[in-house]
Amino acid sequence: MKGLARTQQALDETELELLFLSLLQRTLLHDVRGAISTVSGWVELASMDGKPVPAGLERGVDHLRELVITASSYHSSPKLDTISAGKLLSGIPRAESAPENMTIKTPFRALRAVLRSLGADTIRFTAAGESKASLELSGLPEQGVQLAMRPMLELLQELRRSNEWSATLCTALLRPLATSSNADLLSLNSSSLSLTFSMEDSL
């Protein structure tokens, strides 16, 4: 049993690393894209005003833009799976049973890896209207809840400083998971979060 537990932990850590890499790529591409747009705007304004543009600046901006386009084509977000809420929470510590006919689309293995590592007091699904399902998590680390609601760059900085996947960091990873799942992330209080998914047709 201990061997199986260690194997599962290793698999979970692999999923967390892949999720981190996806977050890093997405954030880098977003920020570099914004910086290129700003520099391009200044170059265009300078040329319109008849001011000399530093040699090689326009060429450098074009090269950066091409690099971003190429990197974007290789960026892979976590694979989305259509899965029942019951299967998603099956075997997760402190998770309440969920109806099998409540079906969502999310990165199944990545989300389960995060849920197993949270140390949450309670994990449960509730219906949120006719076509929404809300995953509510309570008893989370307050610092993790704060990080999950902050800009992605702050989350990346915190991840870079850490040497292990703590409950705090795993809580913060709910942010990119919500983004990948097109789910709404909401802070319910200082130690609780919810992810609200659009429900899919039942499997």
Q: Which CATH class is domain 81-198?
A: alpha beta
Global pTM value: 0.73
Q: Which of 14-23, 50-59, 131-140 has the highest mean pLDDT?
A: 131-140
- Please, which pLDDT band fits residue 191 given cuts at 50, 70 and 90? very high
* Chain-centroid distance, C-alpha 85: 19
What pLDDT, in 10s, does the model give residues 82-128?
999 999 999 898 999 888 788 999 988 889 989 988 889 999 999 88
Alpha-carbon Rg for the chain in angstroms: 21
Distance CA 179, CA 151 (A): 12
d(CA 49, CA 154): 38
- What is the token pair recorded at 58? 């326009």
Average pLDDT, the chain: 80
pLDDT value at 70 more than 90: no
- Domain locations in the chain as residue ranges: 2-74, 81-198
* Residue-level pLDDT at 200: 84
Model confidence pLDDT, tens digit, residues 138-184: 999 999 999 899 887 777 777 777 767 788 888 988 988 888 888 99
Assign 177 to helix, strand or coil.
helix
State the DSSP string of 84-95.
EHHHHHTT-TTB
